[in-house]
Structure formats: C-alpha cells, structure tokens
C-alpha cells in the first residue's frame, strides 16, 4: 500500500485555526500526522488522539444533523416523523453511545472509532454542572429538531433525492468533499445541497448561535458549487439554518462574493505557506514546531483540544 501523503490543503475551519493560533494549526495538520500508526512516536499519537476529540456541543450538532436528515428521508419516503420519534430513534442513541464511549475511555483502543469528550478528558465540569448541561443539551436538541420540522422542512419538502447534489462526508470511504482552486485543495462540506429550476441551493445546519463568520462560510460553499457544479447563468443560493432560534440567513452568492472569498483564500494560503520549509507546498513540510507561535489569548487555549501538548509552555509564558 502506498504511503499516505500529507497534502497541503485549505478549509474555512483550518484558516480559522491558523488565525486563532499558529500552534493549533501545526498540531492539527502536521503534529498529528502519522499518529494512527503503531510505530508513531508518543507525541504524534497524542496529537492524533486529541485531534479526534469532540465536546458536548459538537456532539449536539452531530445528533441534530443526523436527526433532521432522518426526518427528511422519512418525509421523502412518504412517512411522518415527529420531534420525539426523531430524538428517541436517532439523537438519543447517538449521544448515549458517545457518552458511554467517552466515560468508558474506549477511545484508548481506537480514537477514530470511539468518541472522547473534552469535558471528560480534561475534567472541566463538576457532577452538578455536567448534569445541568446534559439536561440543557437534550432540550436544545429537541428544539432544533422541532424548528427544522416546523420551519425548514416546509421549504424543502418537495425536494427529491434525484435533485440532490452528492457531498462526500468524512464518514464515507474515500476523500472528503473538496475542490481545487489555484492548485490548492480546498475542503468544503455543505450539509445539504440540491439543484432546482436552474438554481443550486446549499443549506448549512447550525445548532448554535449566529456568527458573522458564517457568511464567509457560505461564500466558500458558493465557490465549491461554482467550480464543481455550476452551469452558465445558474444562480447559487446559500442558507445558514439556525435551528436553535428557528431563523435563517439567506445569501444569493454573486460574482463579488466569489471574488472576495477567492482573495481571502489566496491571502490565507500565502500566510500558511510561510510556515513551510522553503515555502514549498508540494513538499508540505512544516517549519519546526517552535516556529508556530502559540496564541497569547488564554481563552482560546481554554477550549483547545491540544491544550495538554502546550500546557507547560503556556504556564511558562504566563498565558494561562
């Protein structure tokens, strides 16, 4: 079997990590590489394990996404599915398994297969806080499912599977959804996409709060649609579905949006390239770890999966 190559790539989340903390990007892209191999050194293995770690809110988002897609598929097959049914059949089993995997530390066997929750690993919650947060997460999950059924589903209820555009998710075999721009591999994984009446529609499900950055994320998805699927004179409409609040951010992606996101990608790629040996993206070999500066914002470290690997340095520098 050919050896896997760590290919230079860009994504919205990678750019955000790089902007927040250079070291975080180092661990996520380079420090973890090969950590799945039994012969990897301990630091590589630890970085790989920490990179796979989730938190309770990301588990919430995943549970919501699985549940609403179940609701949609049931509707497409002519069956109804209410909030409690979707929660009991999809969200609850998923979250319970993640909880048990994490509490039982099954991730020690295989961090890719079994969930590890940051709250458990770093022991950030008291038993009382954990109980209260669990109750709130269950409530929010049901709220998101309910808002999807009441407010989002009516807008897409006539979409059939043959209208949907394929999206390669990380759970599928093969490479994750991406496109190539200016020779750079750009990862973009829209949650739900379809083509109808000459318009490409892109939906992104959010179980959390609204953020200004989400409009840029829609532009990245618009560029994905433009490069991989767009036809002449075809429009691109993108939506962030804020399921917790039952609101939607709608954006008709135009040429100016595409130009702006191209400029951002080019600038971000150029900045990342400076942290490679000889600025060579083809080789994609990082400068030494210490060249990737640690953030001075302790709040970022507080929620970072890689905190353990930087802890001693953070204390030495007085950041935390």
309: confidence class by pLDDT, cuts 50, 70, 90: very high
Predicted local distance difference test score (pLDDT) of residue 230: 84
190: confidence class by pLDDT, cuts 50, 70, 90: very high
What is the rounded distance in angstroms from the CA atom of residue 69 to the CA atom of residue 239? 16
Name the DSSP class of 67: H
Mean pLDDT value across residues 230-250: 91
**Is the pLDDT confidence value at 318 over 60?**
yes
177: confidence class by pLDDT, cuts 50, 70, 90: very high
Predicted local distance difference test score (pLDDT) of residue 2: 61
Predicted local distance difference test score (pLDDT) of residue 96: 97
Place of tokens 């709130």: 136
Mean pLDDT value across residues 223-231: 91
Name the DSSP class of 286: B
Dump the DSSP string for 243-299.
TTTTEEEEEEE-HHHHHHHHHHHHHHHHHHHTTBGGG-TTTT-BPPGGGSPPPS-HH
**Is the pLDDT confidence value at 317 over 90?**
no
For 111-159, write each residue's pLDDT tens digit: 999 999 999 999 999 999 999 999 999 999 999 999 999 999 999 999 9
List 185's β-bridge partners, or say none.
9, 180
Predicted local distance difference test score (pLDDT) of residue 320: 83
For 59-84, write each residue's pLDDT tens digit: 999 999 999 999 999 999 999 999 99
Give the pairing of strands 199-206 and 192-196. antiparallel
pTM: 0.94
**Is the pLDDT confidence value at 300 over 60?**
yes
Predicted local distance difference test score (pLDDT) of residue 4: 87
Predicted local distance difference test score (pLDDT) of residue 240: 97
Q: Provide the token pair at 8.
A: 């230079």
List 79's β-bridge partners, or say none.
none
**What are the residues whose beta carbons fall under 8 Å from the beta carbon of 217, sequence distance 6 or more?**
12, 204, 240
What is the rounded distance in angstroms from the CA atom of residue 102 to the CA atom of residue 86? 23
234: confidence class by pLDDT, cuts 50, 70, 90: confident
Predicted local distance difference test score (pLDDT) of residue 295: 96
Residue 265: CA count within 13 A, CB half-sphere = 27
Mean pLDDT value across residues 8-16: 97
List 249's β-bridge partners, or say none.
240
- Judged by average pLDDT, the poorest of 53-57, 115-119, 169-173, 288-292 is 169-173
Predicted local distance difference test score (pLDDT) of residue 1: 53
Helix axes of 127-147 and 56-76: crossing angle, nearest 10 degrees: 30
The share of the chain scoring above pLDDT 70, in percent, equals 99
Place of tokens 């950055």: 213
The SS3 call for residue 45 is: helix
Name the DSSP class of 248: E
List the chain domain ranges.
52-158, 161-253
Q: Which residue has the higher pLDDT, 174 or 295?
A: 295
Average model confidence (pLDDT) for the chain? 95
Q: Provide the token pair at 183.
A: 């020779």
What is the rounded distance in angstroms from the CA atom of residue 316 to the CA atom of residue 84? 50
Predicted local distance difference test score (pLDDT) of residue 3: 76
Length of the chain counted residue by residue: 320
Phi, psi torsion values for 304, nearest 5 degrees: -90, 135
Between CA 291 and CA 313, with CA 276 as vertex, the angle to 5 degrees is 20
The SS3 call for residue 316 is: helix
Fold topology of 161-253: Alpha-Beta Plaits (3.30.70)
Place of tokens 């989400």: 214
């Amino acid at each position: 079997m050919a050896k896997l190559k760590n290919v230079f790539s860009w994504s919205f989340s990678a750019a955000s990590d790089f902007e927040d903390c250079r070291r975080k990007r180092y661990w996520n892209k380079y420090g973890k590489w090969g950590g799945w191999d039994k012969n990897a050194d301990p630091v590589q293995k630890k970085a790989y394990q920490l990179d796979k770690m989730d938190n309770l809110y990301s588990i919430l988002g995943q549970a919501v996404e699985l549940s609403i897609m179940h609701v949609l598929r049931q509707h497409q097959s002519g069956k109804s599915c209410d909030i409690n049914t979707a929660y009991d059949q999809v969200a609850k089993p998923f979250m319970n398994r993640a909880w048990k995997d994490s509490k039982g530390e099954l991730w020690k066997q295989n961090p890719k297969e079994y969930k590890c929750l940051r709250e458990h690993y770093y022991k950030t919650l008291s038993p009382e806080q954990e109980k209260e947060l669990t109750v709130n997460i269950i409530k929010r999950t049901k709220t998101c499912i309910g808002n999807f059924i009441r407010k989002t589903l009516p807008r897409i209820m006539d979409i059939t599977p043959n209208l949907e555009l394929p999206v390669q998710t990380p759970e599928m075999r093969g490479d994750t959804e991406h496109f190539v721009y200016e020779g750079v591999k750009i990862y973009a994984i829209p949650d739900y996409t379809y083509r109808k009446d000459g318009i490409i529609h892109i939906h992104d499900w959010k179980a959390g709060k609204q953020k200004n950055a989400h409009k840029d994320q829609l532009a990245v998805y618009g560029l994905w649609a433009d490069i991989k699927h767009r036809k002449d004179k075809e429009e691109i409409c993108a939506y962030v579905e804020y399921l917790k609040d039952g609101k939607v951010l709608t954006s008709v992606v135009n040429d100016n949006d595409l130009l702006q996101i191209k400029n951002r990608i080019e600038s971000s790629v150029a900045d990342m390239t400076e942290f490679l040996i000889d600025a060579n993206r083809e080789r994609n070999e990082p400068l030494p770890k210490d060249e990737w500066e640690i953030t001075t914002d302790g709040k970022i470290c507080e929620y970072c999966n890689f905190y353990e690997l930087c802890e001693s340095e953070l204390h030495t520098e007085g950041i935390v």
